[in-house]
Structure 1
């Protein structure tokens, strides 16, 4: 019987269930975004997730019409 390898399990789970979203922006814009997140006390991931969620909601509203 083989031992459970937690790291391998996590790696496989991420591979099957997660996707990355990538974008490149000018340095000043990224620096402003990072600073804004710090001021708001939110992570960059949370800010991006909220923007993605809002975009999905807007698209869903259009689909329903």
Structure 2
């Protein structure tokens, strides 16, 4: 039996996910030379790393550094 929303209409899972993403997520974009990107992708594959994890870790390191500097 499908779930119903508060207004009695069938619950639209895709609409819910898209709305949640719109409200809670953001993207970061950058462009680099193709050779550089291909080299990065190959390095991630060789090291068994997800590209998104590399980006997240680098971003978190910058945030941490800024927070440490702020506390000094």
Common fold by TM > 0.5? yes
Q: Which has the higher contact order (CA 8 A, sep 6+)?
A: 1
Alpha-carbon separation, structure 1, partners of 2:47 and 2:57: 13
1:61 deviates by 0.8
Query: In the alignment, does 2:43 pair up with 1:28?
Result: no
Segments of 5+ residues of structure 2 without an aligned counterpart are 1-7
With structure 1 as the length reference, what TM-score do the two structures score?
0.94
Q: After the TM superposition, which parts of structure 1 deviate over 3 Å for at least 4 consecutive aligned residues?
A: none
- The root-mean-square deviation of aligned C-alpha atoms, in Å, is 0.7
Q: Higher helix proportion, which one?
A: 1
With structure 2 as the length reference, what TM-score do the two structures score?
0.86
Tell me how many residue pairs correspond in the alignment.
Answer: 65
